[in-house]
Amino acid sequence: MNYFICGICGYIAMDSAPEKCPVCTAPKEKFSQNDAIFEESKAKAAEGAAKHVPSIWVDKETKLYPGTEFVTVHAKIGEVPHPMEEKHFIQFVDIYADKKWIKRAHFTPAVVPAITAHLKIQASKITVIENCNLHGYWINETSL
């Protein structure tokens, strides 16, 4: 997989760099390719995957608007709670539907790094990418 990182906001595009960053609107020139970005994170995380890899689960029958086709996607970082301290915390989590970015949540150390998105679109694959200020980017995905 080819990954392109926005030098302004840290958004990661898959396959190719967009004309404009969907998160911060930075132009294509601000993107740089790094296909090993997730391997680099694994190499520098002493705590390993358990605290960093996003866990994803899907409610196909949303409680938000019962009877609709909306699908609710939840993600938390990771299986074991990641530290949320001033010097070490999850900065943001992005959710993608079929490789298209749909939502970002920013975090401070005061909150649990978890995100929910209520999809009104049809998608076959959900990807979640998180950014730890010390240990970089981590990715996971699930099929709907």
Residue 20 is encoded by which pair of tokens? 């404009």
Q: Is 2 or 91 the residue whose CB approaches Fe ion more closely?
A: 91
Q: How far is the CB of 120 from Fe ion (least distance, A)?
A: 33
Residue 39's contacts (CB-CB under 8 Å, 6 or more residues apart) are: none
Task: Reduce the DSSP state of residue 122 to 3 states and report it.
Answer: coil
Q: How far is the CB of 49 from Fe ion (least distance, A)?
A: 11
Residues that bind Fe ion (CB under 5 A): 132, 134-135
Q: Is 30 or 51 the residue whose CB approaches Fe ion more closely?
A: 51
> What distance in Å separates the CA atoms of residue 62 and residue 119, rounded to the nearest whole number?
10
Q: Is 31 or 89 the residue whose CB approaches Fe ion more closely?
A: 89
The H or E element containing residue 37 is helix 37-44
Q: Is 43 or 134 the residue whose CB approaches Fe ion more closely?
A: 134
Q: How far is the CB of 9 from Fe ion (least distance, A)?
A: 19
Residue 108: which of 129, 81, 123, 87 has the closest Cα? Answer: 87
Task: Reduce the DSSP state of residue 49 to 3 states and report it.
Answer: helix
Q: How far is the CB of 54 from Fe ion (least distance, A)?
A: 13
Residue 47's contacts (CB-CB under 8 Å, 6 or more residues apart) are: 135
Q: How far is the CB of 129 from Fe ion (least distance, A)?
A: 14
Q: Is 30 or 135 the residue whose CB approaches Fe ion more closely?
A: 135
